């Protein structure tokens, strides 16, 4: 998010004299700018003997390639997963939604049978008390 909002401060944009291009206070040279340019063009061992701009370009390119490769791999795995699921469903001939609905019906039937047995037991208890 920081890179998206990166900008030059407004006071420097309003008065470019606030940007130190010179090493001395009179502003009679541009040594600061030349040093900044030298930093951007110099190769550094810590950056794999590359200049900062080249190292950044390399990192961004590598990250882009890695993301692209992982997205392609994820899409491929999703496709294979869906194909396997479809194949399993074709082989088993079982519709998961229908089976779930039937399971709920059986559960309700079992509950009704349990209630019937409970009532039957109470009726038998009452009959036994009468005898």
**Domain ranges for the chain:** 1-41, 49-93, 97-131
Structure tokens at 126: 């009452």
Does the structure show a pLDDT above 90 at 95? Answer: no
User: pLDDT-based confidence at 27, cuts 50/70/90?
Assistant: low
User: Over the stretch 41-56, which tens digit does the pLDDT of each residue have?
Assistant: 899 899 999 999 999 9
Q: Mind spelling out the 3-state secondary structure of 108-127?
A: HHHHHHHHHHHHHHHHHHHH
Alpha-carbon distance of 26 to 46, in angstroms, equals 36
Note the pTM of the prediction, 2 decimals: 0.46
In this structure, how many other beta carbons lie within 10 angstroms of the beta carbon of residue 21? 14
């Amino acid at each position: 998010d920081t890179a998206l909002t990166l900008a030059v401060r407004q006071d420097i944009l309003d008065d470019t004299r606030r940007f130190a291009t010179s090493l001395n206070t009179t502003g009679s040279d541009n040594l600061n700018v030349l040093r900044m340019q030298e930093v951007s063009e110099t190769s550094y061992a810590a950056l794999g003997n590359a200049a900062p701009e080249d190292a950044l370009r390399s990192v961004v390119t590598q990250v882009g390639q890695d993301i692209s490769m992982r997205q392609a791999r994820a899409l491929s795995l999703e496709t294979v997963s869906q194909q396997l699921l479809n194949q399993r469903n074709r082989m088993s001939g079982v519709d998961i939604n229908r089976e779930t609905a039937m399971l709920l019906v059986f559960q309700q039937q079992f509950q009704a049978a349990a209630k019937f047995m409970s009532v039957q037991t109470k009726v038998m208890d009452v009959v036994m008390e009468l005898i």
